[in-house]
A and B are shown apart, each in its own frame.
Chain A
Amino acid sequence: MHKIFTRSLVSSLVFLFTLTVSAVAKDVKAAFVYIGPTGDHGWTYQHDVGRKAVEAAGYKTTYVEGVPESADAERVLRQLANSGHDVIFTTSFGYMNPTNKVAKEFPNVKFEHATGYKREHPNVSTYAARFYEGRAILGTIAGSMTKSNVIGYVASFPIPEVIRGINSFTLAAQKVNPNIKTKIVWAFTWYDPGKESEAAKALIDQGADIIAQHTDSTAIVQIAEKAGVYAFGQASDMDKFAPKAVLTSVENNWGPYYVDRVKAVANGTWSQKDTWHGIGDGMVVISDLDSAIPSDLQAKVKKLQADLASGKVHAFTGPIYDQKGGLMVAEGKTADDGMLAGMMTYVKGVEGDIPK
């Protein structure tokens, strides 16, 4: 009798304790929706690194990978919103409309959509990174190190994000080497090692001795390694896939933003935002510079990195001309975010036309 009494007393105390604890610290659960597999070593992989940072900060997370941008995205979002998640990160452009639609039905759940522009409800935020700042650094390295003055660039889709990257890269390369030409091959894919390899080979055949990429697989740096030309890693540090070829990588670093936003949800301070962070806020990170880069260039790159971070230098500073010689940005001016967001013309020095 006595035993039973103690036991029930203990268990009810434990029960009470758990009740108070859960009442004090609100358990915030975050969910992530990925377009690809977490092992792609590119876009999705880096978002998952960010998710792990949220876990490390003490929050519970869930993810669903390989969610197509078809009618399925909406169901996954609704299911996540319905199963006790407080904030949902949707990490591909194609989730924009489903995100806004589901957000309307779940006003108490926060939604964070990457790379989109629609914020139709107060519980939807958008976020993206100023990758073009990283590309200005790559351009500086490429312009200084090319011998053939032909730089290859494997592009994914002709959208402003990609055009902006090509332009930023070319402008920076021209600044150190006015004779360079950027040759573009459109792969029309974000992730297809086969197609990306073909594109890289074609560029090398056309005389490119440095290959930049705006697609996500590690195929291009590996092709460059075999062909003995230089390349830059995309999204994650790709050095280990091609130690000789990779000069540096532009890393997508979502962790700090994710931790910040999940904390804001936990503290009740979350509000709608449109975030566009660059090197300065640590969302864009430049990997270690390869020893093949001469030390004076390394110093120059480090300085540019610091200036881009502090805002002293803008990647799009006039005078900037388009391919036909028309003035895009006047001398002494910088391109505003509106112009950057809708950029659909090449700057002078880029070869070819934007596919339409």
Chain B
Amino acid sequence: MLKKLLQKNLECLWEEEKLIKIVKRDQPSRAIFFLTPVLAIFLTLFAGGLIFYILGFKPFEALKFFFIVPIADMYGFSELLLKATPLCLIAIGLSFCFKSNNWNIGAEGQLTFGAIVSGGVALLFYNQEGFYILPIVIMAGAIGGMLYASIPAILKTYFNTNEILVSLMLVYVSKLILDYLVVGPWSNPEGFNFPETRQFSDSARLPILFEGLRIHAGIFLALAAVVASWFIFYKTYLGFQMKVSGFSLKTAKYAGYKGKKMIILVFLISGACAGLAGVGEITGPIGQLHREVSPDYGFTAIIVAFLGRLHPVGIIFASLIVAITYLGAETAQIFMQIPKYTGQVFQGMILFFLLASDYLLFFKIKFTGLKK
């Protein structure tokens, strides 16, 4: 009986009437568009639990240490926000680029260069007081990020280069510039020639929000960016232009949009956001320039931007979720001896499952049932 059923089913696969049918959608489904990130997260949790099980750890306990324990208290939650702030800020900036079909992969470099410029200004004001210092330091970071992002933008618009390659390679250039500065001219004169600058004066540091926690005023920059991006995306002509260019560059051209101007503008916005994220790190928790300003936030933010569906609110949630994979990996290693690099596995899995489940955007699965 069963054999017959199977046989019939197999035959069905070759016939018109199948048990499961994959049908192309007329239009990408909007509901699925926002549901797939959630699906991707659940699949990641499931696959993560499976990996833990195979490695010989109790899956539920491991997941608890990964996703619940790190944020179980006020301090943990503040650390989550601290970690999510740069990710959110950069991802918001990247969403401008990605929405309009500009593939800025070099946010890490823009972050680094923003940190360099603002760090330089902060060092210039070493041991000085004044309410005006911090705003100047912050502005300097945004300008630094914009300058650095303008390189791939200008090369793309006027010389037709590939922005993916240019922006990516500039990441390594920016890190070498930072190396040079902290080893050489900007190194701490009392620091025995170790590769670090002086600690910035308090006047150049972002204020801490709560005594004893590390969460700083940079979070307001991120929230402001969220609100501003929402406004630009959905309430302005620029947002509409970006959307049209994102769907079809030809249409945008036909409509007479000035493509070059827009490309440069989205890169500048993106660079400013990444630069501000760099400012947040060096004038917030770190307090100086040294060789490792960011643990690749600029690259991780690409995952955040896509997980958040390039939507400002989505990006907030996505940045929190990705941030927790960092904290969770530390907790899981301390308490369960799970290798810390599992955190990166989780980040990779989220992106993988998201891309895989995007298949559902364009195709739907139909259960047709067995025909006698």
Contact = CB atoms under 8 A, between A and B. Distances in A.
Interface stretch (A72-80, A143-151, A202-210, A238-246): A72-80
B338 to A, nearest CB: 11
Given A66-B340, A75-B214, A341-B192, 4 more contacts: A70-B293, A76-B334, A159-B183, A356-B185
Interface string B161-193: 000000000000000100100011100000011
A69 B291 contact: yes
Given A74-B285, A97-B287, A66 B341 contact: yes
Nearest to A83: B334
A37 B341 CA distance: 9
B243 interface: no
B193 A71 contact: no
Contact of B194 (A31, A66, A159): A159
Contact of B195 (A31, A66, A157): A157
Contacts of A71: 82, 214, 281, 284-286
B327 interface: yes
Size band of the interface chain B makes with A: 35 or more
A75 B281 contact: no
A117 B193 CA distance: 12
Most buried by B among A31, A63, A66: A66
Most buried by B among A63, A79, A80: A79
A31 B330 CA distance: 13
Contacts of B293: 70
A79 B330 contact: yes
Contacts of B339: 65
Interface residues of A, number: 34
A62 B290 CA distance: 27
Contacts of A68: 292, 295
A342 B333 contact: no
B299 to A, nearest CB: 13
A148 B341 CA distance: 45
Interface string B307-341: 00000000000000000001100110111010111
Given A69-B290, A75-B327, A159-B194, A62 B334 contact: yes
Contacts of B79: 75
A72 B326 contact: yes
A185 B222 CA distance: 42
Interface string A16-31: 0000000000000001
20 contacts: A37-B341, A62-B337, A64-B330, A65-B339, A66-B341, A68-B295, A70-B293, A71-B214, A71-B284, A75-B79, A76-B334, A79-B334, A93-B194, A94-B196, A97-B199, A158-B193, A159-B194, A160-B193, A356-B184, A356-B185
Interface in A30-75: 31, 37, 62-72, 74-75
A309 interface: no
Contacts of B179: 188
Contacts of B295: 68, 70, 72
B184 A355 contact: yes
A70 B330 contact: no
A273 B196 CA distance: 24
A344 interface: yes
A109 B195 CA distance: 28
B157 to A, nearest CB: 33
Contacts, number: 84
Nearest to A188: B179
A94 B292 contact: yes
B357 interface: no
A338 B327 CA distance: 40
B347 interface: no
A68 B214 CA distance: 17
A66 B295 CA distance: 11
B247 to A, nearest CB: 38
Contacts of B294: 70
A76 B287 contact: no
A310 to B, nearest CB: 28
A274 to B, nearest CB: 13
Contacts of B104: none
B261 to A, nearest CB: 36
A355 B176 CA distance: 13
Interface in A159-193: 159-160, 188
B241 interface: no
B292 A65 contact: no
A338 to B, nearest CB: 10
Contacts of B196: 94
Contacts of B199: 97
Nearest to B294: A70
A356 to B, nearest CB: 5
B305 to A, nearest CB: 21
B288 interface: yes
Nearest to B86: A71
Contacts of B184: 355-356
Given A74-B285, A83-B335, A69 B192 contact: no
Nearest to A189: B179
A78 B79 CA distance: 11
A65 B337 CA distance: 10
B214 A74 contact: yes
Nearest to A80: B334
